């Protein structure tokens, strides 16, 4: 390294001195940066940004009158107070049409999903009333349609029936479902308020594709109970148990009338969907096809008294608006711990589906969806839903797609849907007494093809084989074990991938791109030129910690040795400086600092200097606290280019930490 600048420089050296002064000044910017915020302040800022409309800017309003503070706070919690001011009659017309359209799909689907969740049919309708109203006030997605969905309706009974048999004691089973809904809402709200959305990301896109496809097949197989009119059916969800149950039933007790009726209306629904794809003007046809199927099949059964000839029907559906269920929550029961675990799993799955649906339509419409506010809205709607006889609700992709196609403008379409369901609960539940169970099975079956995305699975295979392993592990886990096992396997593989990347991070040797000040990987850019006497290594990891520190040190020393010794054994290259580019490094722990000390010691023993370039805020702060900056002689630079320039002869001002 060059000696520090002196005061007796010649006029020819003035430009270099000015350049060196600039380097020194920029290095001081790195070293004298203010302390980063503490974890406590980061938590406070996170909560503020989530709850308040303007984040930390809201605190600047503290000197404003009280009413303005209240209004600003309420607008942050309830976005409806913001967009309702610009609401017009034209928007209401579009929302009214969209709301009525999704209502025609929502009512039969809600009844079907409630039976899938092993609840009485009215609970599906209840879940299509209160949660959509709460979300309309607190949510930020304009197109999402809230209500019960197939995957969650399968997930709940698959876990809760291990605690309570829904057939032997349906009342206790229902109480546990409502309690799980309460816990799911608590977890979802906590994820949003505490900015813990990364926990949802552990269920990766590949895992979701495999999990949903496996769940779709399991749901489809379970609908054979209603489609074939089977009375005794397995409570297990794996494909082997379901197929065995179907095989036994076919050889003993099943009714072909149920099968014929269900297949006929399933064909009608699928044909309606096919026609809508051919002619976009018929977008409303597949939306009302399920409701028409319910009406027509109910009339057929009623007029022909087919229920007396083997057709299984829904029978009684309790009418009226949602009753209070606060007294049914089992917060002190013997299964509260297990139910809380169920709530956590369901919360993650429901959030993942809802946010994926919301973001897909937000990207089409060109607006931003606040993920944390979505989590808070989902959490509160499920908390309040558990108080009003609702089970876990989330965003439905099929109903959201219909809502979007129908031209919805705002969340008023959800309000219209909820009001329509309320009217149905008050007036029409008695008319559904003769609705065949086979029709509900056919409605659920018609929604399943959209859950199996073969093209996306193929794309995952092409792009990332490790992700594809996660995808098929989730798929086969759900199919041959259980829903929760499939989830755990998918999350386990995703977590193992993260750990593997963390403990074996990538490192790369950098060279200067000709004609620029950019330094890039010499393997990716073969034209990048190495700097004589300098080895530049970049750590491709966000964290230098106990899990990967020793590997990075060993790899760095090996590369330095390889650079110093010609691979042909004919000569040696003199290495004067090793630069560690930490631009990708977001944080470092004590093990990481200890490894840097060891690296510096090894380099010094070989007559080499050590420098750090582009350190992030937390990294340089911890290195200063550990006195590591002074140990390496202040060799800290703002960029890799400045570190290289210093090694090439530009006189550098020695910086004391």
**pLDDT tens profile 256-309:** 899 999 999 999 999 999 998 888 788 788 889 999 999 999 999 999 999 888
pLDDT, tens digit (0-9, with 9 covering 90-100), for 189-245: 999 888 777 677 677 888 889 988 998 898 898 898 899 888 778 878 888 988 888
Whole-number pLDDT of residue 18: 44
Instruction: Tell me how far apart the alpha carbons of residues 97 and 192 are, in angstroms, rounded to a whole number.
Output: 32
Q: What is the DSSP string of 194-228?
A: TT-THHHHTS-HHHHHHHHHHHHHHHHHHTHHHHH
For the purposes of burial, counting CB atoms within 10 Å of the CB of 480, is it exposed (0-12), middle (13-18) or buried (19 or more)?
Answer: middle
Whole-number pLDDT of residue 283: 79
The pLDDT of residue 182 is 98
CA distances from 226 to 88, 105, 291, 456, 517 (A): 45, 19, 18, 31, 69
pTM score, whole prediction: 0.75
At 440 the pLDDT is: 93
Q: In this predicted structure, what is the pLDDT of residue 542?
A: 85
Residue 499: in which H helix or E strand, if any? helix 483-503
Residues of the chain with pLDDT under 70: 1-24, 43, 46-66, 198, 201, 565-573, 648-657
Q: Which residue in 308, 213, 306 sits closest to 260, CA to CA?
A: 306
Dihedral sign of CA atoms 384, 390, 391, 393 in order: negative
CA distance 226 to 234: 13
pLDDT at residue 372, as a whole number = 83
Res 652: pLDDT: 40
Q: Are strands 506-512 and 519-521 parallel, antiparallel or unpaired?
A: antiparallel
3-class secondary structure for 239-264? Answer: HHHHHHHHHHHHCCCCCHHHHHHHHH
Tell me what pLDDT residue 59 has: 53
pLDDT for the residue numbered 53: 47
- pLDDT given at position 17: 40
Q: CA 57, CA 375: separation in Å to the nearest integer?
A: 22
Q: From residue 520, how far is each of 135, 380, 640 by CA, in Å?
A: 48, 48, 10
How many other CB atoms are there within 10 angstroms of residue 165's CB atom?
14
pLDDT the model gives residue 355: 87
- HSE value, Cβ hemisphere, 13 Å, CA-based, for 616: 14
| Model pLDDT, residue 649 | 57
Closest CA to 136 of 79, 57, 195, 60: 79
Q: Minimal CA–CA distance to 131: which of 449, 410, 378?
A: 378
Q: Please give the pLDDT value at position 569.
A: 52
What pLDDT score does 49 carry?
A: 61
Question: So what's the pLDDT on residue 438?
Answer: 94
């Amino acid at each position: 390294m060059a000696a520090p600048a002196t005061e007796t420089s010649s006029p020819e050296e003035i430009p270099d001195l000015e350049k060196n002064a600039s380097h020194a000044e920029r290095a001081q910017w790195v070293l004298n940066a203010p302390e980063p915020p503490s974890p406590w302040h980061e938590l406070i800022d996170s909560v503020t940004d989530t709850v308040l409309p303007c984040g930390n800017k809201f605190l600047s309003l503290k000197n404003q009158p009280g009413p303005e503070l209240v209004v600003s706070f309420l607008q942050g919690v309830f976005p409806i107070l913001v967009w309702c001011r610009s609401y017009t009659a034209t928007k209401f017309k579009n929302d009214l049409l969209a709301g009525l359209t999704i209502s025609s799909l929502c009512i039969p689907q809600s009844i079907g999903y409630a039976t899938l969740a092993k609840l009485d049919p009215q609970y599906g309708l209840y879940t299509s009333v209160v949660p959509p109203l709460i979300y309309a006030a607190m949510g930020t997605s304009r197109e999402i349609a809230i209500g019960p969905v197939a995957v969650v309706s399968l997930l709940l009974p698959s876990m809760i029936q291990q605690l309570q048999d829904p057939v032997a004691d349906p009342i206790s089973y229902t109480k546990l479902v409502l309690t799980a809904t309460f816990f799911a809402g608590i977890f979802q709200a906590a994820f949003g308020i505490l900015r813990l959305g990364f926990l949802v990301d552990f269920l990766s896109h590949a895992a979701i594709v495999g999990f949903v496809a496996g769940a779709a097949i399991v749901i489809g197989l379970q609908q054979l109970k209603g489609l074939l009119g089977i009375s005794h059916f397995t409570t297990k969800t794996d494909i082997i148990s379901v197929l065995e149950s179907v095989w036994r039933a076919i050889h003993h007790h099943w009714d072909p009338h149920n099968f014929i009726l269900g297949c006929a209306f399933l064909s009608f629904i699928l044909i309606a969907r096919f026609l809508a794809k051919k002619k976009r003007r018929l977008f409303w046809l597949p939306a009302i096809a399920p409701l028409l199927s319910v009406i027509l099949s109910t009339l057929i059964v009623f007029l022909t008294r087919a229920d007396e000839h083997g057709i299984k029907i829904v029978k009684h559906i309790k009418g009226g608006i949602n009753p209070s269920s606060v007294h049914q929550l089992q917060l002190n029961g013997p299964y509260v711990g297990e139910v809380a675990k169920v709530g956590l799993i369901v919360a993650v799955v429901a959030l993942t589906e809802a946010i994926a649906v919301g973001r897909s339509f937000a990207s089409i419409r060109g607006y931003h969806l606040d993920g944390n506010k979505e989590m808070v809205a989902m959490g509160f709607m499920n908390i309040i839903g558990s108080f009003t006889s609702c089970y876990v609700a989330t965003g439905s992709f099929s109903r959201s797609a219909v809502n979007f196609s129908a031209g919805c403008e705002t969340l008023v379409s959800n309000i219209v849907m909820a009001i329509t369901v309320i009217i149905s609960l008050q007036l029409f539940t008695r008319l559904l007494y003769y609705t065949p169970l086979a029709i509900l099975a056919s409605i659920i079956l018609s929604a399943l093809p959209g859950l199996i995305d073969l093209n996306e699975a193929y794309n995952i295979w092409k792009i990332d084989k490790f992700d594809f392993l996660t995808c098929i592990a989730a798929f086969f886990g759900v199919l041959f074990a259980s829903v929760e096992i499939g989830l755990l396997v998918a999350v386990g593989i995703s977590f193992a991938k993260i750990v593997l990347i963390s403990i074996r991070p990538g490192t790369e040797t950098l060279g200067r791109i000709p004609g620029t000040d950019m330094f890039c990987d010499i393997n990716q850019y073969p034209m990048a030129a190495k700097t004589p006497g300098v080895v530049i290594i970049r750590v491709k990891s966000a964290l230098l910690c106990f899990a990967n520190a020793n590997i990075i040190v060993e790899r760095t020393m090996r590369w330095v040795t390889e650079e110093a010794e010609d691979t042909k054994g004919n000569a040696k290259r003199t290495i004067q400086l090793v630069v560690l580019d930490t631009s990708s490094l977001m944080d470092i722990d004590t093990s990481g600092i200890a490894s840097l000390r060891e690296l510096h010691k090894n380099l010094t023993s070989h007559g080499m200097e050590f420098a750090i370039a582009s350190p992030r805020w937390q990294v340089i702060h911890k290195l200063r606290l550990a006195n590591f900056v002074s140990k390496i002689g202040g060799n800290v630079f703002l960029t890799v280019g400045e570190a290289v320039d210093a090694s090439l002869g530009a006189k550098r001002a020695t910086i004391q930490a």
